[in-house]
C-alpha cells in the first residue's frame, strides 16, 4: 500500500522531519519548491551523469577536477530484513566502485562542511548501509566532495549562483554502530509509512 515499493534517502529524510509534509509529497503529489541552490546542484548532477559540459565555465572546470570512480550516478537496491518481511532500500550515490567498497557524494553550496557535519550526514550513512546490506562489508573509502558556490555579484540582487572554483574533499567513515542505527531508523520509518499509507489510501 505504500506509494513506492522502496525507501530512498529523500523519503526517509523528509518523513523524519515532517510526516505531514511527507504525506503531501509522496501520497498526494505536492511539489517540493526548487531554490536557486538546488537548481545549481541539479545542473552539476546532470552534467556529471551525462559527462557533458554545463556551459558554466567555472562549474565545468570544477567538475573536471572532481574525483570519480567507475560507476557514476547509478542506483542500486538492497533488502533489509524486518521480521518475516523485508524492506527494499534504494540508493543512488554520485560515484562508487563496482565492488561497493568506496563512494563519493558531491554537494554544491555556500555553507561550510565541517568534519563533524560530514561524519553525521545521514545520506552518507544511508548509502553505506545499503552497500553493507549488499556486500556484508562497510565501505572503507568514503568522501563528501563539496563544490563551493557563491552569489554572483554581477547578477541583479545576487540572484545567480556560481561556482567559486574551490573544491573541498572531506574523507569520512562509518562504523557498524552507525549502520545498525540507520537500519533501526529505516525500519521505524517504513513501519510508519506503511501504517499512514494504509490509513490514507483505503
Q: What is the pTM of this model?
A: 0.91
112 — pLDDT class (breaks 50, 70, 90): very high
112 burial class (0-12, 13-18, 19+ CB within 10 angstroms)?
Answer: exposed
Task: For the beta carbon of residue 150, count every other beta carbon within 10 angstroms.
Answer: 15
- Give the sheet arrangement for strand 71-72, strand by strand: 71-72, 95-96, 102-109, 141-151, 161-172
Distances (CA, A) of 124 to 45, 115, 130, 175: 17, 13, 10, 12
Query: What are 39-92's pLDDT values in tens digits?
Result: 888 888 888 877 888 887 888 888 888 999 999 989 999 999 999 999 999 999
131 — pLDDT class (breaks 50, 70, 90): very high
pLDDT for res 139: 98
Query: What is the mean pLDDT of the segment spanning 95-105?
Result: 97
pLDDT for res 1: 66
pLDDT for res 161: 83
Average pLDDT, the chain: 92
pLDDT for res 3: 86
Spatial separation of the C-alpha atoms in residues 41 and 175, rounded to whole Å? 29
156 — pLDDT class (breaks 50, 70, 90): low
Task: Look at 49-58, 98-107, 117-126 and tell me which has the smallest mean pLDDT.
Answer: 49-58
Q: By the 8 A CB rule, do 2 and 202 touch?
A: no
Q: Has residue 158 got a pLDDT over 80?
A: no
Measured in Å, how far apart are the chain's first and last C-alpha atoms?
9
The dotted CATH code for 35-183 is 3.90.320.10
Amino acid at each position: 500500500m505504500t506509494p513506492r515499493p522502496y525507501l530512498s534517502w529523500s523519503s526517509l529524510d523528509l518523513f523524519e522531519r515532517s510526516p505531514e509534509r511527507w504525506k503531501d509529497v509522496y501520497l498526494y503529489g505536492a511539489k517540493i519548491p526548487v531554490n536557486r541552490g538546488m537548481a545549481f546542484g541539479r545542473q552539476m548532477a546532470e552534467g556529471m551523469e551525462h559527462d557533458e559540459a554545463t556551459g558554466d565555465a567555472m562549474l565545468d572546470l570544477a567538475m573536471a577536477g572532481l574525483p570519480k570512480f567507475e560507476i557514476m550516478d547509478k542506483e542500486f537496491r538492497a533488502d533489509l530484513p524486518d521480521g518475516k518481511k523485508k524492506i527494499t532500500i534504494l540508493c543512488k550515490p554520485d560515484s562508487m566502485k563496482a565492488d561497493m567498497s568506496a563512494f563519493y557524494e558531491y554537494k554544491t553550496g555556500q555553507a561550510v562542511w565541517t568534519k563533524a557535519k560530514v561524519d553525521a550526514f545521514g545520506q552518507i550513512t544511508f548509502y553505506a548501509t545499503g552497500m553493507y546490506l549488499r556486500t556484508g562489508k562497510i565501505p572503507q573509502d568514503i568522501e563528501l566532495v563539496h563544490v563551493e558556490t557563491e552569489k554572483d555579484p554581477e547578477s541583479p540582487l545576487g540572484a545567480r549562483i556560481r561556482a567559486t572554483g574551490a573544491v573541498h574533499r572531506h574523507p569520512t567513515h562509518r562504523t557498524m554502530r552507525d549502520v545498525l542505527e540507520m537500519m533501526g531508523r529505516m525500519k521505524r520509518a517504513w513501519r510508519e509509512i506503511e501504517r499512514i499509507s494504509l490509513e490514507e489510501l483505503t
